[in-house]
Amino acid sequence: MKQLHKQHSLNHRREEEMGSGQGETPPYSPKSMKHTRSLPRSINYLLREQRLLFILVGILIGSTFFIIQPTLSRIGPPEGPAFIPRSGGFVRINSGVHNGRVGRLPAGIGGRRLRVVVTGGAGFVGSHLVDKLIARGNDVIVIDNFFTGRKENLVHLFGNPRFELIRHDVVEPILLEVDQIYHLACPASPVHYKYNPVKTIKTNVMGTLNMLGLAKRIGARFLLTSTSEVYGDPLEHPQKETYWGNVNPIGERSCYDEGKRTAETLAMDYHRGAGVEVRIARIFNTYGPRMCLDDGRVVSNFVAQAIRKQPLTVYGDGKQTRSFQYVSDLVNGLASLMDGEHVGPFNLGNPGEFTMLELAQVVKETIDSSATIEYKPNTADDPHMRKPDISKAKELLNWEPKIPLREGLPLMVSDFRNRILNEDEGKAMK
C-alpha cells in the first residue's frame, strides 16, 4: 500500500513538472530533431559570405589538376635518355622496345660511337681489323691472351682514347657492353694449333660459347671467323658455301678444323635458338704484314726464308694449290659482312689459285731470284687444293678482293725484312 502511494506521488510530480515547464523552457526534442532543426543554420553559414562558391571553385580546381596531370606528363618533354654504365663512361640506350627487346641506337645517332670487341685483336688479321675499325671512328676493345698475338701489332694505338686492350683468355667468361663482337681468337697456323691441340679445341668450343653467351646477354651482333679448313680435303672444286666438306674428325688438324665446324654449329644454334645476330666468315689463306715469321704458313715461310737467304721449303711435290688473299681485302670483307644483313656463311678469299711451286716462283721474283727450293715430306691431312667460290659474297655483300698476289707480296716484304733484321722474331713467339 505504501509503495503504491509512493508511485502515484512520483507520477504526479512528473506531470506537474511537465505541465509547469511548458511555458518557460523549450520542449524536449530527440537528437535527430535537433539536427533537422539546425540544418538551415549550416546552410545559412555556407551561403553567407560566398563560402559555398569558394568551396565549389576549390573542388573544380582540384579535379582539373588530377584529370589533366597524366595527360601533361605524356605530352611533356621526352623522358631523359636511359644511361647504362660501361667501362669507358656512360652510354645512351634507346628507350624504344623492338621485338620484345630494348633496342640500341644505331651507330652515329645520339652522338655515340659504335663499340666493338675484337677477340684475338693482337694477332695478324685482328690487328689490321682493329686499325680499320678505329680509322672509321669506332671504339674498339681488344681481348687477347697473347698466345700468338703481339702487343707490337697494336703499339701504334696505345694512348688512343678509343682503343682498349684487355689481356684475357676467351676460354673464361667476360662481361662487357658492346654493339658488335668480332670473334677471331684462335691459333690459326698448324705450328701453333698442333702445339697445344687441347687448348685449341677449348678455345674453339668454350671461347666461342662464352662470346656467344655475351652476345646473347647484351644483344650484340656476333661475327665468327671460321675457315676454309671446314671443307677439309675437299672433293668439290672450287668450294661453295653449300659444300659440307671432307674432314677427318680424329686427325692432327681436327682441333682446328673440327673445332671451327663446332664453332659454326654453336653460332647457328645461338642464332636460331636464342635470336643472336650472327655472321659467319669462312676465311681462305690470307697474308700480309704482321704475320708471325715462323708460323709454318706457306707465304710467311717462303718470304722469311727468302729474306734470310734460306732455301724455300716445299712440302710434298708442291703441286697442291692454295688461293692467297691480301689482308686488307679480308678486313674489308669482314666489315661488310658484319654491317650487312646476311648471316652467311660466306667464303672470303681470293679465287686466284697457285700451286706451291708457282708461289715459290713469285716469292723468288719479288725477293731473291737466286733462292733455291728444298722438298720435304707432306704433312698429314694437308688439303690437295683450295679455291673459294666467292659468288655469294660478291652478290650479297658486294665484296671481292682487289689486290693480286704480285701486288700484295711486296707490301709485306718490307715489314718482314725489318723484323728479321731486328732479330726480334724468336722473342715474339710467346
The residues carrying an active-site annotation are 256
For residue 341 the three cell numbers come to: 644483313
As measured in angstroms, the least distance from the Cβ of 339 to ligand NAD is 18
Window of 130-138, 142-150, 367-375, 384-392 that interacts with ligand NAD by CB under 6 A = 142-150
Q: Which of 139, 144, 233, 257 binds ligand NAD (CB under 6 A)?
A: 144
As measured in angstroms, the least distance from the Cβ of 234 to ligand NAD is 14
Sequence-separated (6 or more) residues with CB below 8 Å from residue 344: 241, 279, 280, 281, 282, 337
- Report whether 304 contacts 293 (CB < 8 A): yes
3-state SS assignment for residue 207: helix
Window of 58-66, 183-191, 265-273, 375-383 that interacts with ligand NAD by CB under 6 A = 183-191
As measured in angstroms, the least distance from the Cβ of 296 to ligand NAD is 11
Window of 15-23, 34-42, 184-192, 415-423 that interacts with ligand NAD by CB under 6 A = 184-192
For residue 80 the three cell numbers come to: 631523359
As measured in angstroms, the least distance from the Cβ of 221 to ligand NAD is 17
Q: Taking the CA atoms of the chain, what radius of gyration do you get in angstroms?
A: 41
- Between 270 and 287, name the residue whose CB sits nearer to ligand NAD: 287
As measured in angstroms, the least distance from the Cβ of 263 to ligand NAD is 9
For 144-177, the DSSP string reads E--SS--GGGTGGGTT-TTEEEEE--TTS-----
- DSSP strands (E only) in 168-277: 180-183, 221-227
- Between 145 and 320, name the residue whose CB sits nearer to ligand NAD: 145
Residues 297-316 close enough to bind ligand NAD by CB under 6 A: none
Point out which residues pair with 85 in neighbouring strands.
90
- Report whether 184 contacts 225 (CB < 8 A): yes
As measured in angstroms, the least distance from the Cβ of 360 to ligand NAD is 18
Q: Which of 104, 118, 131, 169 binds ligand NAD (CB under 6 A)?
A: 169
Window of 28-36, 169-177, 368-376, 403-411 that interacts with ligand NAD by CB under 6 A = 169-177
Q: Which of 210, 239, 286, 320 binds ligand NAD (CB under 6 A)?
A: 286
DSSP 242: T
Binding status of residue 234 toward ligand NAD by CB under 6 A: no
Window of 278-286, 306-314, 394-402, 413-421 that interacts with ligand NAD by CB under 6 A = 278-286
- Between 92 and 202, name the residue whose CB sits nearer to ligand NAD: 202
In sign, the C-alpha dihedral spanning 206, 208, 209, 215 is positive
For residue 125 the three cell numbers come to: 688479321
Q: Which of 180, 208, 210, 227 binds ligand NAD (CB under 6 A)?
A: 227
Q: How many residues does the structure list for the chain?
A: 430
Q: Which of 180, 208, 239, 285 binds ligand NAD (CB under 6 A)?
A: 285
Look-up of cell digits 706457306? 298
Binding status of residue 241 toward ligand NAD by CB under 6 A: no
As measured in angstroms, the least distance from the Cβ of 291 to ligand NAD is 7
Residue type, 98: H
* x/- track of binding to ligand NAD for residues 85-124 (CB under 6 A): ----------------------------------xx-xxx
As measured in angstroms, the least distance from the Cβ of 162 to ligand NAD is 20
Pairing relationship of beta strands 221-227 and 180-183 according to DSSP bridges? parallel
Binding status of residue 257 toward ligand NAD by CB under 6 A: no
Which H or E run contains 199? helix 197-202
Cis peptide before 238 (omega within 30 of 0): yes
φ and ψ at residue 357, rounded to 5 degrees: -70, -40
* x/- track of binding to ligand NAD for residues 195-214 (CB under 6 A): --------x---x-------
For residue 90 the three cell numbers come to: 656512360
The span from the CA of 208 to the CA of 223, in Å, is: 10
Window of 69-77, 157-165, 280-288, 357-365 that interacts with ligand NAD by CB under 6 A = 280-288
Q: What angle do CA 120, 122, 125 make, to 5 degrees?
A: 70
As measured in angstroms, the least distance from the Cβ of 228 to ligand NAD is 6
Cis peptide before 345 (omega within 30 of 0): yes
- Between 285 and 320, name the residue whose CB sits nearer to ligand NAD: 285
- Report whether 278 contacts 272 (CB < 8 A): no
3-state SS assignment for residue 216: helix
Q: Which of 208, 210, 225, 328 binds ligand NAD (CB under 6 A)?
A: 225
Binding site for ligand NAD (CB under 6 A): 119-120, 122-126, 143-149, 169-171, 184-188, 203, 207, 225, 227, 283, 285-286
